[in-house]
Structure 1
């Protein structure tokens, strides 16, 4: 019997660059950072969601051969992966704050579907939708 999802992974081109982005710009905290030879298991989590981790994984050995790793880097860099969703209390305020940190936005805040959303990318090209949580949302939010 399963009990839930613990880690969802993202492919990143540089784990240190990704760590800086997710911790210093988005406000996540480091959960696990361990090395085994050339392999690094690096996860972060939102401070209000301690049971869920976001893995920041670099494609390559021992999991992927060189050709697969290169193909994965190219797919991520093109923004071809499905976007992740980040809930915020105030999308326009979060946009201003994150823009001040140098976050690359692909879409400014726009009202639609009864809420406000914006789009941005991490340094590796992974796409994010930042959505203003509605009053009936039961999810935790990034302030």
Structure 2
């Protein structure tokens, strides 16, 4: 068994698609109609057959509440691995991404947290 798709609730699928592809550099894998919304998945450019990230509409009241509470409490909804957190922090900051936590060492890892502009905090992590 393996993880093939994981999701992030987003307030606006188009805005999320723009942010995750243009700002973060993910690649769109699927974008198909699914009722009122779309099934939009993204992959890492260096692992296009790897785990997909689904940009899931937060239309359900429970999803909205979950997303709002995590954001208000400063809790990231997911984490992305990077080779160098400080380098990624610099690259994303130059693109206008707003961080709520600058690169911080915690034992054998370094993390940073940013706002995805779609209602979520996202953590990036470098493992040594």
TM range (shorter): 0.7 to 0.9
Offset of residue 131 of structure 1: 1.2
Contact 2:44-2:50 at 8 Å conserved across structures: no
> Which of 77, 83, 94 is the matching residue for 1:83?
77
**Does residue 116 of the first structure (1) align with residue 103 of the second (2)?**
no
Unmatched 5+ stretches in structure 2: none
Offset of residue 42 of structure 1: 0.7
SS at match of 1:20: helix
CA RMSD for the aligned pairs? 1.8
What is the distance in 2 between the residues matched to 1:85 and 1:37? 29
SS at match of 1:22: helix
Name 1:137's counterpart in structure 2.
Answer: none
**Structure with the higher fraction of residues in strand conformation:** 2
Offset of residue 82 of structure 1: 4.9
What is the number of residues matched between the two proteins? 124
Name 1:100's counterpart in structure 2.
Answer: 94
Offset of residue 114 of structure 1: 2.2
Runs (4+) of structure 1 moved beyond 6 Å?
none
Contact 1:76-1:124 at 8 Å conserved across structures: no
TM-score by length of 1: 0.77
Name 1:73's counterpart in structure 2.
Answer: 64
Show CA shifts across 1:19-63 (max 9, x none): 011101111000100114422111111122322100001133xxx
Name 1:140's counterpart in structure 2.
Answer: none
Contact 2:76-2:113 at 8 Å conserved across structures: no
SS at match of 2:18: helix
